[in-house]
Amino acid sequence: MTYRINYAYTCHAGKVRSNNEDNFWCCGEILPSQNLGMQEVRGGERLRESFPVLIVFDGMGGESQGEMAAYLASQEFGKYYGQNKGKLRRQPENFLLEACRIMNQAVCSYSASNRINAMGTTMAMIVFARKSVYICNLGDSRIYQQSQGQIRQISSDHVLRSYMFGKAPLTQFLGVEESEMKLEPSVKALEYQEGDRYLLCSDGVTDMLSDKEIETAMASGESVGDTVQILMDQVLEKGARDNTTIILCEIQRENHPLRAWLRQNKKENEGDVL
Taking residues 160-169, what's their average pLDDT? 79
Instruction: Give yes or no for a contact between 168 and 161, defined as CB atoms under 8 angstroms apart.
Output: yes
* Residue 178 belongs to some domain of the structure: yes
* Residue 273 belongs to some domain of the structure: no
Helices 92-113 and 65-83 meet at what angle, rounded to 10?
Answer: 140
Instruction: Give yes or no for a contact between 272 and 216, defined as CB atoms under 8 angstroms apart.
Output: no
User: For residue 47, what is the domain's CATH number?
Assistant: 3.60.40.10
Q: What is the CA radius of gyration of the chain?
A: 18
Q: Which residue has the higher pLDDT, 274 or 197?
A: 197
**Percent of the chain topping pLDDT 90:** 81
Taking residues 156-172, what's their average pLDDT? 85
Q: What is the pLDDT of residues 191-248, one digit of tens each?
A: 999 999 999 999 999 999 999 999 999 998 899 999 999 999 999 999 999 999 999 9
Instruction: Give yes or no for a contact between 267 and 50, defined as CB atoms under 8 angstroms apart.
Output: no
pTM: 0.93
Instruction: Give yes or no for a contact between 73 and 120, defined as CB atoms under 8 angstroms apart.
Output: no
Count of other CB atoms within 10 angstroms of residue 258: 8
* Residue 86 belongs to some domain of the structure: yes
* Residue 103 belongs to some domain of the structure: yes
Q: Which residue has the higher pLDDT, 145 or 179?
A: 145
In eight-state DSSP terms, residue 49 is G
Number of independent structural domains in the chain: 1
Cα separation, 122 vs 125, in Å, equals 10
* Residue 271 belongs to some domain of the structure: no
* Residue 272 belongs to some domain of the structure: no
As a whole number, the mean pLDDT across the chain is: 92
Which structural domain, as residue segments, surrounds residue 37? Answer: 2-266
* Residue 84 belongs to some domain of the structure: yes
Q: What is the pLDDT of residue 87?
A: 94
Instruction: Give yes or no for a contact between 59 and 77, defined as CB atoms under 8 angstroms apart.
Output: no
* Residue 274 belongs to some domain of the structure: no
